[in-house]
Amino acid sequence: MLNFLIRSVSMGLITALIVLLAMPSLRQSIITQPLNEQPQTGTSVQLSFNQAVRKAAPAVVNIYSRQYSEDDRQALLVQGLGSGVIVSNKGYIITNYHVIANADQIIVALQDGRAAAAQLVGTDQRTDIAILRVEGESLPVIPLNPEYSPKVGDVVMAIGNPYNLGQTTTFGIISATGRSSISADGIQAFIQTDAAINKGNSGGALVNSNGELVGINTASFQQTKEVESYGISFAIPIKLAQQVMEKIIADGRVIRGYIGINGQDIGSRTARLEQAGGIIVLSVDPTGPADKAGIQAQDIITSIAGRKLDGRQAVFDLVTNLRPGTNIDVKLLRNGQELTLPIVVGEDPNE
């Protein structure tokens, strides 16, 4: 037995020597390695998103909405609980409309212990967005990346104040994008995630693995559909939230363009037109700008204001961002012929 062990060790040493002689690069790496360097352990490759959370978390605030008591108009009672995100060094905060709806006073609490009454800049009930503003020095601002586009499978974290337990971070992935079925108008597209979003998380931040703001947490499937489910929550994409914020700051409210059509994406029955892109007009508002311009049901709209269309969502996004009174050209196909019709954009009557 002893002779066997000696032979095995000797063969191992001889093999190692041959390898070192044949591959000088290995000799160099061994010689240059510091003698006091500790061997790597399992903790050296531990996966952590601590840096991302540390970048984003200070800018996520707790929001407490208060309402006067019906019995005592001098007494303010806590009405609602939610979260918000500081997105500008001017103190602008994005949160959900339902967090501050009907509030007589809004209190914002920062993670560094500061608290202040917030000014309500404006709201947009359709997108469930409210914009607040607080005064303060050296306010933390969440990182923003205009180039980021959410993709299914991206790691995300939801940061907020669930059940007033204190700031909490939950972890998950983006499960889907472009979810419009839960929106009131069936058009607004949400980000779906399996990161837990509970009461108090509304208005908080959904961030990526770099700590950059991806969306504003707004609802869970349970709240929306009133059924028991797990791992299905929703957030408003930050690009949409920023567009709403800019309009509210500029005009005090969201003014949306409107042409008065309802359409659907090009399907298999018009597959020959898929490369052109566009939507099929299903109906036209008889009092809207499109009807006045001569657009008819079954027309296939291929471009608006010189921009090609990828589908119904693209039409909605493009038109709502146009200012009422803007003159645009709409290109369409009717009975195989291409037409260009001028339209004066109106204001959405649903606002």
209 and 334 fall within a common domain: no
231 and 96 fall within a common domain: yes
Of 228, 253, 278, which residue sits at a domain end?
Answer: 253
* Active site positions, annotated: 98, 128, 202
Mean pLDDT by 10 residues, the chain (351 residues): 52 53 48 44 69 96 86 67 94 95 91 94 92 94 94 95 92 87 62 90 95 90 53 89 94 91 72 63 93 93 86 83 92 90 90 66
25 occurs within a structural domain: no
3-state SS of the chain is CHHHHHHHHHHHHHHHHHHHHHCHHHHHHHHHCCCCCCCCCHHHHCCCCHHHHHHHHHHEEEEEEEEECCCCCCCEEEEEEEEEEECCCCCEEEEEHHHHCCCCEEEEECCCCCEEECEEEEEECCCCEEEEECCCCCCCCCCCCCCCCCCCCCEEEEEECHHHCCCEEEEEEEEEEEECCCCCCCCCCEEEECCCCCCCCCCCEEEECCCCEEEEEEEEHHHHHCCCCCCCEEEEEHHHHHHHHHHHHHHCCCCCEECCEEEEECCHHHHHHCCCCCEEEEEECCCCHHHHHCCCCCCEEEEECCEECCCHHHHHHHHHCCCCCCEEEEEEEECCEEEEEEEECEECCCC
Of 253, 286, 301, which residue sits at a domain end?
Answer: 253
206 occurs within a structural domain: yes
Confidence at residue 212, expressed as pLDDT on a 0 to 100 scale? 97
Kindly report the CATH number assigned to the domain that includes residue 338. 2.30.42.10
Of 253, 278, 312, which residue sits at a domain end?
Answer: 253
202 and 232 fall within a common domain: yes
Domain extent at residue 102: 47-253
Confidence at residue 26, expressed as pLDDT on a 0 to 100 scale? 45
Confidence at residue 266, expressed as pLDDT on a 0 to 100 scale? 78
Confidence at residue 31, expressed as pLDDT on a 0 to 100 scale? 41
249 occurs within a structural domain: yes
3-state SS of 211-235 is CCEEEEEEEEHHHHHCCCCCCCEEE
Rounded to two decimals, what is the model's pTM?
A: 0.77
The total of structural domains in the chain comes to 2
Confidence at residue 189, expressed as pLDDT on a 0 to 100 scale? 81
83 and 213 fall within a common domain: yes
Kindly report the CATH number assigned to the domain that includes residue 240. 2.40.10.120
Confidence at residue 205, expressed as pLDDT on a 0 to 100 scale? 97
